[in-house]
Structure 1
């Protein structure tokens, strides 16, 4: 009971705390934030949403690898409860040299290719850190995975990070689906949707996805 009390206390502090951890060469920043406007009924752990985004060497699950993974948790009203690790995973030059031309160009442009070469973080360490974070803020098999075209991230989780996949609820919230429905059913709203920056870096892409769904929530799903 004491640990549960402490956990709740930390999550409801009206300040921002940055806790740096350095373990096995892995350095991340955990961002815990509290919003006084959050509706307590919407902030129950069973209503929370786990957002994950990855950058990969390609989209073929059987041969491509995860280069970067980031995670954050929101409440049901899409307020950020906690911002988790943004981790660059080491990949050898032989893997990166075999990326398709689009990935080579894009990941070189963002600096991700070099960052993967320089990283000392392995796949298992990255999985451990992400899993630790989501366990701190959600209950097992209660929170769905959310993101843009997030079915692809789910496939990579299933293959490369199965413990994270098993912890998640089986449902997903795919912002891309909402976007496609809005484009067909209400083009005027779709035309006013926030423009994406297409940075193709994991954490910034997640934040854009959250903002995008907030837009559709306040317009397309407006009661």
Structure 2
């Protein structure tokens, strides 16, 4: 029991004291049988109430290129996926994985790497079935609709101005989302959690642990890439950021 609680209890009247049952159980202070939650439980209670104050909003985008001059330039957003974790990297909600419709001219403007990876064989030729270019052709989702759906999803789980954008080299995704998903981005905090920063520091300072990091499959599909980034940060948290027990 803390000193502050002891002083508060001495200050109340004897009749009220008869009604207070104070006990400690699993790190929680209980008054009259109702637990005042410990920090981890408090976070779970907040999550259940829809008030997640330490959220990480994970995103990954697939684009026609890497953009230019600090923005998307002439490149387009093809796919975006999103999920939310708490500050301890526990999954809270898996959001939409959105493939956005574009014309064949946009697909034809992709760089050679994207054309190969996404199965684009050129205008007038059917793309490789099941790959991203094929799904872009068939999609009925516009950029505006994607922004609306992302904003709707994150608003359900995270108070405005608190969720921190997370991912691998996520500043690149932010370039495109700032332009093409302004309502979604306007709901988030301005800070970023970039797993690639942790990766590079681990490679330099903890090479042994770095060698054991999960290997990427390299599917270059948005939701798959997010899950890999999340698994990677969980690994670094366990091996690099773990606190030794006394």
3-state SS of 2:117 partner: helix
Q: Tell me what 1:180 maps to.
A: 200
CA RMSD of aligned residues (A): 1.4
Counterpart check, 1:67 vs 2:78: yes
- The answer on whether the counterparts of 1:53 and 1:150 sit within 8 Å (CA) in structure 2 is yes
Equivalents in 2 of 1:97, 1:39: separation in Å?
50
Deviation for aligned residue 1:40: 2.7
Residues 109-120 of structure 1: pairs in structure 2 closer than 5 A = 111-120=131-140
Structure 2 counterpart of 1:87 = 98
Taking structure 2 as the reference length, the TM-score comes to 0.73
- Cα offsets for 1:2-59 (capped at 9, x unmatched): xxxxxxxxxxxxxxxxxxxxxxxxxxxxxxxxxxxx9334444111110011111111
Alignment: residue pair count: 186
Contact 1:70 1:84 in 2 (8 A): yes
Q: Which aligned pairs between 1:187-202 and structure 2 lie closer than 5 A? A: 187-202=207-222
TM-score by length of 1: 0.81
1:47 to 49, 54, 57: 54
Q: Which runs of 4+ in 1 moved over 4 A?
A: none
Alpha-carbon distance between aligned partners in 1 of 2:132 and 2:203, rounded to the nearest angstrom: 32
Equivalent residue, structure 1, for 2:114: 103
Q: Structure 2: how far apart are the matches of 1:211 and 1:203?
A: 12
Residue equivalent to 2:124: none
TM-superposition CA deviations, 1:168-204 (whole Å, max 9, x none)? 1000000000000000001000000000111100011
Unaligned 5+ segments in structure 1 are: 1-37
